[in-house]
Every structure is written in C-alpha cells, then in structure tokens.
Amino acid sequence: MSEHNPELTPEIQALIEKAERGDAEAQSELADAYYFGEEVEQNYEQAAYWFGKAAEQSKVHALYSLGYMYRMGQYFEQSDIEAVNLYRQAAEQGNAAAQCGLGLMYAQGSGIRKNDTEAVKWYRLAANQGNTLALCNLGYMYDFGRGVKQSYKEAIRYYRLAAKKGNNQARLNLAYSYFDGDGVKQSYVRTKTLCDRVLKDPKLSFEAYELKDRAGRFEKSKSISTLRESILAHLKISKNISMTHYTSFDVGQSILLEKSPFRLGHINAVNDPNEGKLLWQELGYEPEEGNPVFIGCFLPDSDSLNMWRFYSKNHLNDDACGCAITFNTQDFFDYRLMKEQGDHTEQEQRMPSFTNTGQSPQESAAFYRVVYLKDNFKILEKGATKLQAYFKDLKKEVDKFVGKKPTPEKLQTLAWLLGPLPYLLKDAHYKDEREHRVIVTHLDYGAKEIQSSAPDFANGTAPRLYLELHRDDHLAPIEYVTLGPKAPNKEMMAPYWRHQLASKFSEQLKNRKPLDINPSRCAYK
C-alpha cells in the first residue's frame, strides 16, 4: 500500500515514511488524513489499511475508527458485530468515543443484545471524560427511564452539560423539555430560543424549525393547536406501506440518476380551483394565506390508469408518457433542508445519537391522507364520525379566537395556526385519486431554504417556488420504478437506467436488493 507521490505535501510524505517503518501514531494520523481528505484526496481504502496497521499495535483511536467504518459500511461491508468488537477493544482501553459508541450499540441492540443497563454504564464512562454525545445520550436515558430510574432533573443536567459543549441534539432535547415543562418551568419562549441555535445544523434544522413553529402556535392558541394536532394524527398514515409519485421522464431521470434533491412544489401550482378553500368556507371566513405551503403528492397505487392520465405527462402534455417512482415510507423521511451536511473534524461528532423520539409530532415527516367532502362538509371514508367531531370543536375554538369583529391580522394568524389542514380537504369528485400528501408549512417567505425560478415572459413560463429536500443516499427509499403505458422507447429505458445506476451508484446499490424497473401493466385506451 506504499504511496510515494511528488504531488503529496512534505508532511504527508513524512507520515508515510514513518508509517511504513511501523510507527503506530504515524499510521493512525495517516489514516485520519485519508479518511477526512486532509492534504490528500479522501480514500477510504487507504484509511482502512492504515487504521488496520495501527490497530494491530492496539492503537485505540485506530480500533475505534475501524469500528466506525464497519458501523457505517465505509469501504468494509457494513457489520454491527465487527463494530461492537472493535469498539469494545478501544472502550476497555478508555477511549471515550468508543465507550459512547458501544453504549449506543447496547441501547439500540445493534450487533449485540439490547441492554439499557450496559448502555448507561458505557455512556457514563464516556460522559465522565466530557464526551458530548455521551452526555446527551445519558440525558436521554434519564429522560425516558431507560437503564436508570427516570429523572427529568438528571436529564436536564446532562442535556445542559452537552449543550454547553455545543451539542445541538442536546439543545433540541432541552427545547422539548421547555415545551412540555419536563424538569423545568414550561416556556415557549425558551423553546424558541433554543431552536434558533439549532437551525443551522443540517441534520436537525427540519425538526428545529418545526418545534419553533409549534411553540409559537401553542403560545397564540393552545386549544386550536391541540385540535389541529389531533386531526393531523388521525390523518397520518403508518410508515410501513409504499407511496408512489407519478411524474415525467425528465423528473424521474433526475431523481434516479442525478442525485437530484426531492422537490415539494408551492400549493398554488396545483390545478384544483377549490384548493385550500373548503375548511375556510366551513369556518365562515374568506381564505387567508399564512406561511407558504409546499406539497408533494403521492398515491398508494403504483400502476393506476387514471393516475397515468392525470399526472404522468411529457413536455407536450401527452399523458401516460412518464414514470412512477414507488417509495418505501420507512426510509423516505431521512432528508434535510440544507444541501451540505457541514464539516466535521472528529469522527466522534458523526456518531449517531438519540433524538427525543415520541415528543415531536414530526409534522413534516409524514404522509397524510386527503379527506374528501360532500356538500355541507360531510366527510367520506373511514374515521368520519371522529373527524366531524374534531372539526366541529375546531369551529367553536376559531370563533372564540377571532371574536365578533375579526381583523385581517387575526385571520392571518388563524391561517398560520391552521397550517396544512385546509390543504388536506378536497371535493368528493376527486376521491378516486386517494391522494396522500407530504406538506411543509413552517417556513416564512424569504427563507433561504425556499428555491425559486424566475418567470420567462417571452415564452409565457410562470415563476416557481419550491422546497428542496436533500438526502445522502438518494436511492435508499426507492423500491421500484414503473414506466408509463405510453412511455417512449420503454424497451430500452429499463436496461439503460439499470446500467446508469450500476455505473454511477454501485456503492449505494451494493447492500440492497436490485432496483426493479418495469413497464406498466395497464392496457392504455
């Protein structure tokens, strides 16, 4: 594996010479350089080789780093069992990052039998050395009473210690504690302040935006906000089914082959003239616009002739010429608002940590079924009785909120409080679509996450606003692709796309079942 290259810096050349002479410290430093791409081109194969050489001499950082590469499937085939083995060797020698990593493996039951008591033991050892992730995760264990007696007071203590060291997950967990008043005096103001500090974290920005928005809503009207969340919970579907997005070939190719971000379009781009109006009519007010609304439309049927006709057109507006991409909803929401993950200088910072699952409604990370209405606001389909009761209560609370002489400002605030609810109600003549939606309503106009395309006045092209959702592994949630009944050259499109995927994304496809690409079975008439 020796590498002598005149283009390498003198520092790297010197490290290589020391490493080849068997210096474990130099081997570990050289591996770090290759792993992070510092002064050399990033190369996981070289990193694995030199970490391995240093690990043979029991260099603890190298043992932990090799374990991390196995955990993440970087160069090696992913193996939690190997990760546990290597973490343990480093942890028993006192490496804090490995102790935290081993604690997480016990807590999640990854590569080893789940054992919360052992998880707490290893978190505590790492936390005693000031490891920020361990401090945060130990706080989580106290928060939820896992492996220790439940104690909000202790959870807050550890969250604060981690937050002081810059851990954004701990800040967000603290924000949840202030929202619910768990272990601290309940404060929506403090919740929003903590969320503001987390917004720049690409991994957590979505959740932070949403919690800040939620705190603001409850601050304005707890009763409306509570009813709103009850309705959304009723319409939220489970994450163990598939959802299909019908689109054009151009968009399908971008999603598959260009690692393109997934886009949610502005609500005004849809073609239903009553979009967003039915709930306002029932409440007795003219529709008002609150925050911008971005939606993605999905269907539970992956090969529907009606949907091919409506939603899979080409640039000439010919129908059934596109494709349908079917997603596994379990993996769909592993996305973030910002394109870049951000720079890290320590592997320890990349280790997964616990989130406060169960406290967040994760409003933006869900598929919601659309409710179809007959005249007089009569709800069709399942759960109609309960939903009718919710909306009846909502009308009462709205009347109290706006008062007898509603001002434009009050109605604008009401639009914000209602959030996505008006956009989950449609007229009954659309019911055959069985549409489901992903909806984002917690961003303001002017937010840097909202993208735009200017109008082309010469060609009559309208302006566009859209929201981009970024993934590191864009193929992970895709189950299969269906080519439309009238898709051009479909005999060659499937093998072409298979070849392109295998050429460009072999690493992503290595540890998953092959991505099926098949023609529609619908007989087009």
pLDDT digit string, tens, across residues 334-377: 887 777 654 333 444 455 666 554 455 578 888 999 999 998 88
- Residue 292 CA to residue 274 CA, distance in Å, equals 17
236: phi then psi, degrees, rounded to nearest 5: -70, 135
User: Which residue type occupies 39?
Assistant: E
Residues 366 and 502 grouped into a single domain: yes
Residue 204, pLDDT > 70, answer yes
Span 291-311, pLDDT tens digits: 899 999 999 999 988 888 877
Q: Are residues 433 and 366 in the same domain?
A: yes
Classify residue 286: in a domain, yes or no.
yes
**Total Cβ atoms within 10 A of residue 99:** 28
Q: Are residues 161 and 251 in the same domain?
A: no
Question: Per the domain annotation, does 349 fall within a domain?
Answer: no
Query: CA–CA separation, 411 vs 444, rounded Å?
Result: 17
Nearest to 101 by CA among 74, 119, 116, 79: 119
In a domain? residue 69: yes
Exposed e or buried b for every residue in 154-178, given b needs 16+ CB within 10 A?
bbbbbbbbbbeeebbbbbbbbbbbb
Q: Looking at residue 186, what is its pLDDT?
A: 96
- Indicate whether 468 belongs to any domain: yes
Are residues 440 and 336 both part of a single domain? yes
Taking only the tens place, the pLDDT of each residue in 25-71 is 999 998 999 899 888 888 999 999 999 999 999 999 999 999 999 99
DSSP state of 456: B
pLDDT in the model for residue 514: 82
The verdict on 263 and 175 lying in the same domain is no
Average pLDDT over the chain, rounded to an integer: 88
* Least trusted range by pLDDT, from 9-13, 19-23, 480-484: 9-13
- The residue out of 179, 198, 222 marking a domain boundary is 179
Q: How confident is the model at residue 431 (pLDDT cuts 50, 70, 90)?
A: confident
- What is the CATH number for 49? 1.25.40.10
- Let me know whether 114 and 16 are in one domain: yes
- 447 pLDDT tier (thresholds 50, 70, 90): confident
**Residue 243 shares a structural domain with residue 144:** no
Dump pLDDT digits (tens) for 495-523.
Answer: 999 999 999 988 788 777 888 999 999 87
Q: Is residue 216 part of a domain?
A: no
Question: Do β-strands 464-469 and 425-427 pair in parallel, antiparallel, or remain unpaired?
Answer: unpaired
Round to whole Å and give the CA distance between 5 and 139.
48
387-406, pLDDT tens digit by residue? Answer: 999 999 999 999 999 998 89
Eight-state DSSP code of residue 474: T
Range of the domain at 31: 10-179
174 shares its domain with 254: no
H or E segment to which residue 519 belongs? strand 516-519
Does residue 491 form part of some domain?
yes
Q: Which two tokens stand for residue 84?
A: 């546990």
Question: Is it the case that residue 130 has pLDDT exceeding 60?
Answer: yes
Both 513 and 419 in a single domain?
yes
5 falls within a domain: no
Average pLDDT over residues 256-260: 83
The whole model's pTM is what? Answer: 0.84
Q: Is the dihedral of CA 424, 426, 431, 435 positive or negative?
A: negative
Q: How many domains does the chain have?
A: 2
User: Do 373 and 491 belong together in one domain?
Assistant: yes
The count of C-alpha atoms lying within 13 angstroms of the C-alpha of 10, restricted to the half-sphere facing its C-beta, is: 0
Q: Does residue 347 belong to any structural domain of this protein?
A: no
CB hemisphere CA count around 417 (13 angstroms): 24
Say if CB 334 and CB 477 are below 8 A apart: yes
Co-location of 27 and 171 in the same domain: yes
Round to whole Å and give the CA distance between 419 and 292.
Answer: 9
Task: Give the torsion sign (CA, 332, 333, 337, 338).
Answer: negative
Which of the listed residues 164, 179, 194 is the one where a domain comes to its end?
179
Distances 214 to 229, 363, 424 between C-alpha atoms, Å = 10, 10, 19
Which among 155, 179, 203 is the end of a domain? Answer: 179
Q: How confident is the model at residue 430 (pLDDT cuts 50, 70, 90)?
A: confident
170 and 239 assigned to the same domain: no
